[in-house]
Structure 1
Amino acid sequence: MRATRLCIRRSLLCGLALLAFALPGAAQQVKRDIDYRLLPQPQPVQTGERIEVIDFFFYACPYCNELAPHLDRWIKRKPADVVFRRMPVVRHDTWVPLAKTYFALEAMGEVERLHMAVYRSYHVDDLYMSQEKVIAEWATKNGLDSEKFMSIYRSDEVKAKVELAKKMTKDYDIQGTPSVVVDGKFLTSSSMTPGVAQVIPVIDGLVRLARQQRIEKSGK
């Protein structure tokens, strides 16, 4: 009888531990050089008193495709003091067309509607968006004015943003995708977690760490 009660107690404790880990707000102690690493040089944030979270992604990356829906759900419940940004990674010239696609969508206010559609086109439909003709046809298929879209795609504004993406890829020491940088100094990636989904609780932990460091710095 005693053994049975002990077994039940252990099962309940185990279940509670698993539940705590599964809850969106559950605290996770993040470990430096295991769950995340520090950037060689901290980067300035553009969000003032709010904590900045940047998703460095590449549409052709299967792990970015896997992480994207988890990030979408996280965005909907992120803390009020957090600002989320996306930045396409540009490591090679062959990565430029997909970066330009993102920036053109951003300029048209269509990222929220079509961000996942780009991933699906690439990873489900095997549509390799490396040529302008293919990209223009994709834009039409997804309800965009392809003429307007391609005009923005070729614009100096988008070219400047691609150059910024190249610079940030280097400045933030992005060695692989997906990588997520919190408050300009903490970097985590799917290569540092047991699975892609586990990036999310690490982001939560880094947000808490960044918040605590800001509080300590302000002396409040």
Structure 2
Amino acid sequence: MKRWLKLIALLLFAPLVYADFNEGTEYQAITNAQPTASADKIEVLELFWYGCPHCYHFEPVLEDWLKNKPDDVVFVRMPAILGPNWELLARGYYTAEFLDAVDKIHKPLFDYIHKERKRISSVDELKTFFVEHGVSASDFDNTFNSFAVITKTNRSKQVRSMYGLTGVPTLVINGKYRTTAKQAGGNEKMLKVVDYLIDKERVAAAGAEAAAE
């Protein structure tokens, strides 16, 4: 009974202001839904590339949204690899992630490339950047060349087949839907579409729970 009441409440109080968001217009269903990092939370996955100016300009908008992220939502970043020259910085992100150094590296690396207009085109240049931001050279070498980082990097090469990705930044909601600023009508609007799809997933999950009673 409680699950039915939860479902009714979600249906009544879901934000009707977003009711005009339509599949095929502001967002797209992913042909083959992908597994997510957490079974009991709704995943919002950001696909990005450090060399992308659109990703750089989206970052502060995304950070504002994350300040009020709902408790039932988990946020995950995934560097996309849509070309050979994207791989180096993707491995850099995963290196920072495994070293628990994303706070030290992520925004500074974006700023270095887009604000300071510098380039990182080799492993040695990337290593120097990490060392300058508090990561030891040995930790960088061991992690950058680790099986775990290489495995994650190889998965990032599959974003076209997994998510139907054609450009970044793209946000994927619960492995089922994707949206972009171009589709939604801007960065802020893209996050409104994300909020709408999060609500859609809440309703679907509540319905499944209620049906299982």
1:58 matched to 2:61 = no
Residue 161 of structure 1 aligns to a residue in which SS? helix
Q: CA deviation at 1:55?
A: 0.4
Q: Which runs of 5+ in 1 are unaligned?
A: 1-24
Q: Residue in 2 aligned with 1:199?
A: 190
Residues 58 and 177, structure 1, Cα contact 8 Å, conserved in 2 = yes
The answer to whether the 8 A contact 1:27-1:205 is kept is no
Distance 1:133 1:74 in 2: 35
What amino acid maps onto 2:165 in structure 1? I
Q: TM-score, normalised on structure 1?
A: 0.83
Runs of 4+ in 1 over 2 A off after TM superposition: 25-30, 167-170, 217-220
Please say if 1:155 is aligned against 2:137.
no
Paired with 2:119 and 2:142, the residues of 1 have a C-alpha distance of: 20
Q: Alignment partner for residue 174 of structure 1, among 162, 165, 171? A: 165
Measure, in 2, the Cα distance between the counterparts of 1:82 and 1:91.
27
Displacement of 1:26 in angstroms is 9.2
Give the counterpart of 1:87 among 65, 75, 78: 78
Identity among equivalent positions (%) equals 26
1:184 to 168, 175, 180: 175
Which residue does 2:18 correspond to in 1? 28
Q: Equivalents in 2 of 1:50, 1:215: separation in Å?
A: 12
Paired residue type of 1:79: P
| In 2, Cα distance between equivalents of 1:176 and 1:57 | 8
Check conservation: 2:105, 2:130, Cα contact below 8 A: no
Structure 1 distance, partners of 2:105, 2:189, is 25
Q: 1:59 to 1:213 in 2, by over 3 A?
A: same
Aligned pair partner of 1:218 in 202, 209, 212: 209
Deviations 1:124-182 (A, max 9, x none): 11222220121122112222213321331122221111011122442111111001000
Structure 1 distance, partners of 2:90, 2:200, is 31
Q: Distance in 2 between matches of 1:158 and 1:168?
A: 16
Contact 2:25 2:183 (C-alpha < 8 Å) held by counterparts: yes
- How far residue 112 of structure 1 moved from its aligned partner, in angstroms, is 2.7
Q: Which of 86, 92, 100 is equivalent to 1:101?
A: 92
The aligned length equals 196
The 8 Å contact of residues 104 and 134 in structure 2, kept in 1 or not, is answered as no
Computing the radius of gyration from Cα coordinates, the structure with the larger value is 1
Unaligned 5+ runs, structure 2: 1-14
C-alpha contact (below 8 Å) 2:104/2:133 kept by paired residues: no
Alignment TM-score, normalising by the size of structure 2: 0.85
Give the corresponding residue for 1:115.
106
Which of structures 1 and 2 has the larger relative contact order (alpha carbons within 8 angstroms, sep 6+)?
2
In structure 2, do the counterparts of structure 1 residues 133 and 50 end up closer, same or farther at CA, with 3 Å as the change threshold? same
Listed one character per residue, the Cα deviations across residues 78-129 of structure 1 (whole Å, up to 9, x for unaligned) are 1111111111101222111010000000011111332111111111112222
